[in-house]
């Protein structure tokens, strides 16, 4: 009887110890080894209250984007020189990434976290930051997170999230990059490979832009990783060409139009804009 009691005590103690020990998690993206092909160097950073969703750039200014506000900052000094903020009760709820084209700031927008997802591109004048236009995509393939232009085509990313799966039947694996012509007619679409979806976690692709060498670069929601993607020669799954550890925490980013190796990104947790240089080794 005493021997049996000792065994029970031993098993109970061992079970408690195993339960108390935290389970091992996969290595975080920021702990991964540096890229063999790319080098990332942070140059400086500055505070910006709007540094929550994305940042866009033109020759002289940065446009820092939150859900319903945009701040205009000098690239050289980080000085805030203007801004836009939606009045309470306005129609916009979730601005994301932005790009500047011909004096206009084009911002991806969705009604996230509302279901069903609706998306639009909201257009602002870069001088006055007044809202001057809109392209409504209605119920699109998901929540629009970023847009870019290449070879006279629009590229747009529509996100899906794990938390919405019970209502939509879709998760991050359904996130899609769609190519449109100038009239917003769909011409092609691609999804992300499992290795990238894994880093997205329960979230999705928050930022994307064509950068150095013409490659498509993307980021997730919070991982300190810049993915280098290539379009497949066959099939509909983007190919992961490389991953670059960076100091920003995901979210939307942009490349400098004057120096294509300069990257502007965000640290959402501290409301900072990070200026980095990304070059081929």
DSSP 187-214: EEEEE--HHHHHHHTTS---EEEE-GGG
pLDDT digits (tens, 9 = 90+) for 91-137: 999 999 999 999 999 999 999 999 999 999 999 999 999 999 999 99
8 Å CB contact between 162 and 223: no
Strand partners for 239: 230
pLDDT given for residue 17 in this prediction: 34
Rounded Cα distance, 105 and 137, in Å: 17
Q: Which of 270, 259, 265, 235 lies closest to 247, judged by CA?
A: 265
Model confidence, pTM:
0.87
Residue 29 has pLDDT above 70, yes or no: no
Phi, psi of 145, deg, nearest 5: -115, -35
Query: Where along the chain do its domains lie?
Result: 41-280
**Burial (CB count within 10 angstroms: exposed 0-12, middle 13-18, buried 19+), residue 280:** exposed
Residue 141 has pLDDT above 80, yes or no: yes
Rounded Cα distance, 3 and 160, in Å: 56
Would you give the distance in Å from CA 229 to the centre of its chain? 14
pLDDT digits (tens, 9 = 90+) for 46-66: 999 999 999 999 999 999 999
Superfamily for the 41-280 domain:
TolB, C-terminal domain (2.120.10.30)
């Amino acid at each position: 009887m005493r021997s049996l009691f000792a065994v029970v005590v031993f098993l109970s103690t061992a079970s408690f110890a195993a339960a108390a020990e935290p389970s091992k998690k996969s290595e975080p993206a920021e702990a991964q080894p540096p890229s063999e092909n790319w080098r990332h160097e942070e140059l400086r950073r500055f505070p910006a209250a709007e540094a929550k969703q994305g940042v866009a750039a033109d020759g002289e200014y940065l446009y820092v984007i939150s859900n319903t506000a945009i701040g205009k900052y000098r690239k050289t000094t980080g000085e805030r020189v203007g801004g836009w903020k939606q009045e309470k009760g306005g129609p916009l709820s979730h601005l994301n990434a932005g790009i500047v084209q011909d004096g206009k700031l084009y911002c991806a927008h969705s009604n996230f976290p509302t279901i069903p997802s609706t998306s639009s591109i909201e257009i602002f004048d870069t001088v006055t930051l007044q809202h001057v236009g809109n392209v409504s995509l209605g119920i699109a393939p998901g929540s629009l997170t970023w847009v870019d232009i290449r070879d006279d085509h629009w590229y747009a990313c529509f996100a899906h999230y794990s938390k919405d799966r019970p209502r939509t039947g879709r998760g991050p694996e359904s996130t899609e990059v769609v190519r449109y012509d100038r009239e917003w007619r769909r011409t092609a679409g691609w999804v992300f490979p499992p290795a990238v979806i894994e880093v997205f976690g329960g979230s999705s692709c928050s930022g994307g832009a064509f950068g150095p060498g013409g490659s498509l670069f993307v980021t997730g929601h919070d991982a300190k990783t810049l993915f280098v993607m290539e379009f497949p020669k066959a099939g509909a799954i983007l190919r992961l060409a490389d991953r670059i550890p960076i100091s920003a925490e995901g979210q939307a980013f942009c490349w400098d139009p004057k120096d294509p190796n300069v990257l502007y990104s965000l640290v959402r947790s501290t409301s900072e804009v990070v200026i980095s240089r990304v070059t081929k080794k």
